[in-house]
Structure 1
Amino acid sequence: MSKGVITITDAEFETEVLTAEEPVLVYFWASWCGPCQLMSPVINYAATTYGDRLKVVKMEVDPNPITVKQYQVEGVPALRLINKNQLLASTEGVIAKDKLLKILDEHLSVN
């Protein structure tokens, strides 16, 4: 599967995330966000490392207010791990690579 990170919009959210066969890590970011630049390599690493059992998408917050509001994103960077329309995990702010991998390992091992 390993497709890397896919950029999506509000219009694509249902198709790419909610009805996806595999769990999806949604990365909310903004072009003006310095901490988001720190998270990008970690997100790319997750996409390549877990690509066989996880889809990774990124969504810029400013042009996509519907999803941002629906998932209560109050700060960026923010992550939401969703599987079949169910929120499994949620973080806001920069997190270390090992913390992200721990979250993914916890939730992906049951699939």
Structure 2
Amino acid sequence: MASEKVVTLTDGNFRSTVLEADKPVLVDFWAAWCGPCKMIAPVIDELANDFDGKAIIGKVNVDDNRQTASEYGIMSIPTLLLFKNGQVVDKAVGFKAKADLAKLINSHL
């Protein structure tokens, strides 16, 4: 079950939700057909709950939002980009453990 705390990001809301955010934003670029994306989805949900109020956790479906995926050069999924003050400050490609992603987020809080 997806967490209601995970923000659905689109080409239309990416700028206002991610680039203009006042806290770090972890963005999961994913697709419905991607096996590793399905594996990491529960981790993303847990992170959204764990970091509620401290960081924003969002997901971009690359099939539905090609402009944003292209703009950030997403070639493999899942790709997770961490934004702070509108800039990419960290990146992880492929399935990552929850502890690794939590450490990545914490290092930018």
| Structure-1-length-normalised TM-score | 0.90
Residue 51 of structure 1: how far off its partner (Å): 1.1
Query: Residue in 2 aligned with 1:91?
Result: 92
Structure 1: stretches of 5+ with no match in the other structure:
none
* Count of paired positions: 106
- RMSD of Structure 2 on Structure 1 (CA): 1.1
Hey, which bits of structure 1, 4+ residues long, moved more than 4 A? Answer: none
Query: Residue in 1 aligned with 2:11?
Result: 10
Question: Is the Cα contact below 8 Å between 2:11 and 2:65 reproduced in 1?
Answer: yes
Percent of aligned positions with the same letter in both sequences? 39
Does the residue aligned with 2:91 lie in a helix, a strand or coil? Answer: strand
Q: What is the distance in 1 between the residues matched to 2:7 and 2:96?
A: 20
Does the residue aligned with 1:107 lie in a helix, a strand or coil? Answer: coil
Structure 2: stretches of 5+ with no match in the other structure:
none
Q: What is the distance in 2 between the residues matched to 1:106 and 1:98?
A: 12
Query: Residue in 1 aligned with 2:50?
Result: 49
Does the residue aligned with 1:75 lie in a helix, a strand or coil? Answer: coil
Q: What is the distance in 1 between the residues matched to 2:7 and 2:102?
A: 19
Greater fraction helix: 1
Query: Residue in 2 aligned with 1:33?
Result: 34
Query: Residue in 1 aligned with 2:106?
Result: 105
